[in-house]
Amino acid sequence: MNEAILIEGNIENIVYSNPENGYSVVDLNVEGKLVTAVGIMPSICVGEKVRLMGIWVNHPSFGRQFKADKCERTLPKTAGDMLRYLSGGAIKGIGPSTARKIVERFGEDSFDVLENHPEELAQIKGISRDKAMEMSERFKSQFAVREVIIALERFNMNSSECLSAYKAYGSNAIERITENPYILCSDKVGLRFERADEIAMSFPTQVKGIFRQRAGIIHILKHNLRNGHTCLPRAKIIAPAAELLGIECDEVRTVIDELIEDKELVEDFIDDKSYLFLPYEYYDEKAIADRIKIMLRFPPASGRALEKDIENIEKEKGIEFEDKQKQAITTAVTKGLLVLTGGPGTGKTTTLNGILSIFKKRKLRVLLAAPTGRAAMRMSEVTGRQAKTIHRLLETEWTDGDRQIFARNIENPLEADAVIVDELSMVDTHLFAALLNALPLGCRLVMVGDSDQLPPVGAGNVLQDIISSELLPTVCLTQVFRQAMESLIVTNAHKIVGGEYPTLDVTDKDFFFLSRGDVASTADTVTELYTNRLPKAYGYDPLTDIQIICPSRKGMTGTVSLNTALQKILNPPSPDKEDMERGSKLFREGDKVMQIKNNYDIIWTKGKEVSSGIFNGDIGRIIAINHNASFMKIDFDGRISLYPFDNIGELELAYAITVHKSQGSEFDAVIMPVCNVIPQLSYRNLLYTAVTRAKSRIILVGTKQQVKEMVDNDKKTRRYSFLKHLLLKD
C-alpha cells in the first residue's frame, strides 16, 4: 500500500467541482509544475494555496494524478495572489475590474477590509455602502465552511465528514460536536455509530458518557431498521446494548427510560410486552392504521348496481370472470378498499383490468402506481394505461437539509377518485404512509400483491400485516387458469409455495434444471448459458432478454464474482470503449448496470419528457463515459440520464443481480444458481420469488438437494412490526 505524502501548491484551474459533496478535480501549481489533484475540496477557489495529504495514482485515461484524502487551505497573503483570487469569481459580485480596484486601494490588507471593515470599500468609485456590506457577507460566508472544516479535521474527521457536519449544523458545528460528538451519527449527518465512536476517542471522557449510551441504543434500533424491523422488543435490546457500550443491563434500562421520557424513543405494548420504536417509524405505522380505519368507516358511494356492468365487460372482452374475480371487482367499487392477492396464473391482471373497466364506465379519475420503475412499466404494459412509480406519483422533493418530502400530501392531495398500487409486497412502511397521506377523502384504494414473495427491502411488512389483520376486504385468487397450467414455471411456482418439490426432470417446457455437483462447475455453466447457449438456442440478447438471479452477492456463484467474469467475456477492454474505475468498481461503455439506491436528483430525458429520479432496482446500459465532464450517459429503459461520476457508489454491474433486487421485475429468461446457498438465504419464498421473475424460461443450475432444502425451509425471516396490532387496536 502506498504511503500518504504531503504536497503544497496554488490552485491554477478548477476542472470540476461538485457543490453537494465537495468532490473536485483541480490543476495545482506545485513548485512551478502543474499536476492534477482529485478529492474532497469543498468550496475550493482559483488562487488558493492548499496542502494536500494523499497518494499518487495512475488514472487509465488521464495518467498520473494526486488523490487527496485531506485538504488544508490558507488564504492568499500577497497582493498579487489576492488579486488573482478575487478576479477568479470566488466572491459573487466581485469581478476582475472590482478586484483590481480593491487590491490597488488596500493591497495586502484587502482581505482584512473585506472581512472586518467593509465600510471602507465604499471609498472606491462604483461601490456603494450597501454593495460593500453585501460583498463582505459573501466573503465571510465563503470562508465560514473552510474555518469549520479546518477545525473539525482536528477531531480526526475527513473532509467529506466535515462537510456533512457543516451542512447539518453550519457555523455551530464545532460547538455542537465538541459538546456531543455523537450527534455525528444522527440522521442529519449520518455517520455510523462506530465511526462517531472513533472520532469521540479524541474527546475528554466526560464528554462521552451519557451521550454515547443514548446514541448506542438508538444505533441498535437503526441497525435493525435496515434489517426490516420497525421496532424491537425491549427485552431484545438490553443485552446487545450492554455489550456494545460496556455497561450493566440495569444502566441500559435507565437510559432507555430517559430516551422515552425525552421522546427520542417511543414505547408501546402488546399483552404487556414492551416494544421500542424510533419515533418516525411508530408514527408512520400509526398513520397507516388510523387512515385505513377512517376509510373503512366512510366508504365511497357505490352508485348503481354492478351486475350489469360486469356482464357487459365480459361480453366486450370475450371473457368470463370466476367468482372470486367478480368478488374483487365488486369489493373495489362498493367498499373502496381492496387487497387483491394471488400467485402466477391466477388472473390478477384480468381482474385488475376488470376493475379499471368498471372505474372507467363510472368516469372515475384513476391513477396507477408501483414501487419500482420496471414494475410501473410492466403495469403500463398489461393495463394499457400510464403507471408511475409511487415516488413520482407523490412528486418527491428534497429540502435544503437533504430531507425527502412529498409535494403530494394531506394539504395537496392527489387528483384522483381511485388509486391502484401493484407489487404492494415491496412497499415499505414510510412510503405507504406517505401514499395514504396523499389520498383525497373518498378515494378508493386497490392494493395488488403476492404475499408469498419477499418482504420489502425497507422497514415494515405492510402487505402481510394488512392481510393477517383480517380487517380489510381481501380477495385471494387461487384458481390457476388452464392456459397458465400449461406453463411449468407457473405449476412449479405453486408447488414451491405449497411446500412441494418442483418438477425438475421435464425438458420440453419452460422450466429447466441442470445438475452440477460443485460451486465451480455451477458458476461455469451459468456463465456459459448466459453468454453462449441461450443466445444461440433462442436468439436472446444477454443484455435485454436474460437475467442471472442469485441468492447471494458472495462466493463464486454470487453476483460480485459472476459480474466480474461476465464483464470480461461480454464487454472486454477495447480502444474504442471508455471505462472508469472508482475504488473496487470498474465500469465500461456497453455495461449492463443497476441503480442500488433511490436518487431523486439525476436528470433524465425520454423523447420530449424531461424529469429526474433513478430508483433502487432500475436496470440500464452505459452508452457513453465522458471523463472531461465527469459523467456517464446511461439508458435506463428508455430514460437517458446524465449520471455524475460522484454517484458511482450507487451503481453496480447487473449481468447478475440478487433475488431481492429482482423484485418487481420480469425477464424473458432467468438463470439461477442453486448450489451451496448459505443457510440464511436457503428458504422457500426466496426460491419462489426468483422463479416468478421469469416470463418465458427459467433454468436452475446446481443440486437437487439444494432445491429441496430451500422448499423445505418455510421459516420466513422474522420481522418485528406493529401495524397489525395497531389495526386491531381500538
Question: pLDDT band for position 476 (50/70/90)?
Answer: very high
E strands of 343-392, at which residues? 366-370, 387-389
Interval 385-396: pLDDT, tens: 999 989 889 988
Interval 284-325: pLDDT, tens: 999 999 999 999 998 887 766 788 888 889 898 888 999 999
Nearest by Cα to 48 from 72, 20, 16: 72
Pairing status of strand 5-17 against strand 49-59: antiparallel
Q: What is the pLDDT of residue 285?
A: 97
Q: How many residues does the chain have?
A: 730
Task: Using alpha carbons, list the distances in angstroms from residue 135 to 106, 132, 140, 183.
Answer: 15, 5, 9, 33
Q: What is the pLDDT of residue 89?
A: 67
Q: What is the pLDDT of residue 340?
A: 96
Which of the residue ranges 20-24, 135-139, 565-569 would you say has the lowest mean pLDDT? 20-24
Q: Which grid coordinates are listed for 332? A: 373495489
Q: What is the pLDDT of residue 204?
A: 63
Residue 206 has pLDDT above 60, yes or no: no
Question: pLDDT band for position 402 (50/70/90)?
Answer: low
Interval 128-164: pLDDT, tens: 888 888 888 888 776 666 677 777 777 777 766 777 7
Question: pLDDT band for position 69 (50/70/90)?
Answer: confident
Radius of gyration of the chain (CA): 30
Place of cell 378515494: 443
Q: What is the pLDDT of residue 20?
A: 62
Alpha helices in 50-172 (DSSP H): 79-87, 96-106, 110-116, 129-152, 159-169
Residue 208 has pLDDT above 90, yes or no: no
Question: How far is the C-alpha of 422 from the C-alpha of 463, rounded, in Å?
Answer: 11
Interval 621-633: pLDDT, tens: 999 998 777 788 9
What 8-state DSSP symbol labels residue 523?
Answer: H
Interval 545-554: pLDDT, tens: 999 999 999 9
Residue 194 has pLDDT above 70, yes or no: yes
Q: What is the pLDDT of residue 715?
A: 77
More confident residue, 71 or 123: 123
Question: How far is the C-alpha of 120 from the C-alpha of 403, rounded, in Å?
Answer: 41
Residue 657 has pLDDT above 90, yes or no: yes
Q: What is the pLDDT of residue 252?
A: 95
Q: What is the pTM of this model?
A: 0.79
More confident residue, 581 or 702: 702
Q: pLDDT over 90 for what percent of the chain?
A: 48
With 0-12 / 13-18 / 19 or more C-beta atoms within 10 angstroms meaning exposed / middle / buried, residue 176 is middle
Q: Tell me what the mean pLDDT of segment 568-588 comes to.
A: 89
Interval 238-267: pLDDT, tens: 999 999 999 999 999 999 999 999 999 999
Q: Which grid coordinates are listed for 390? A: 409511487
Q: What is the pLDDT of residue 694?
A: 94
Q: What is the pLDDT of residue 11?
A: 85
Give SS3 for 466: helix
Q: What mean pLDDT, rounded, does the chain reach?
A: 88
Which of the residue ranges 20-29, 154-163, 323-332 would you say has the lowest mean pLDDT? 154-163
DSSP per-residue codes, 626-674: ETTTTEEEEEETTEEEEEEGGGGGGEEE-SEEEHHHHTT--EEEEEEEE
Question: pLDDT band for position 45 (50/70/90)?
Answer: confident
Q: Tell me what the mean pLDDT of segment 588-610 comes to.
A: 86
Residue 86 has pLDDT above 70, yes or no: yes
Q: What is the pLDDT of residue 400?
A: 52
What 8-state DSSP symbol labels residue 16?
Answer: E
Pairing status of strand 337-342 against strand 404-406: unpaired
Which of the residue ranges 60-69, 229-238, 653-662, 679-688 would you say has the lowest mean pLDDT? 60-69
More confident residue, 508 or 662: 662
Q: What is the pLDDT of residue 518?
A: 93
Q: Tell me what the mean pLDDT of segment 532-550 comes to.
A: 94
Interval 409-431: pLDDT, tens: 999 999 999 999 999 999 999 99
More confident residue, 6 or 1: 6
Q: Tell me what the mean pLDDT of segment 464-475 comes to.
A: 94
Q: What is the pLDDT of residue 278?
A: 94
Q: What is the pLDDT of residue 83?
A: 83
Q: What is the pLDDT of residue 481?
A: 81
Q: What is the pLDDT of residue 61?
A: 64
More confident residue, 58 or 511: 511
Q: Which grid coordinates are listed for 510? A: 419452460
Residue 207 has pLDDT above 70, yes or no: no
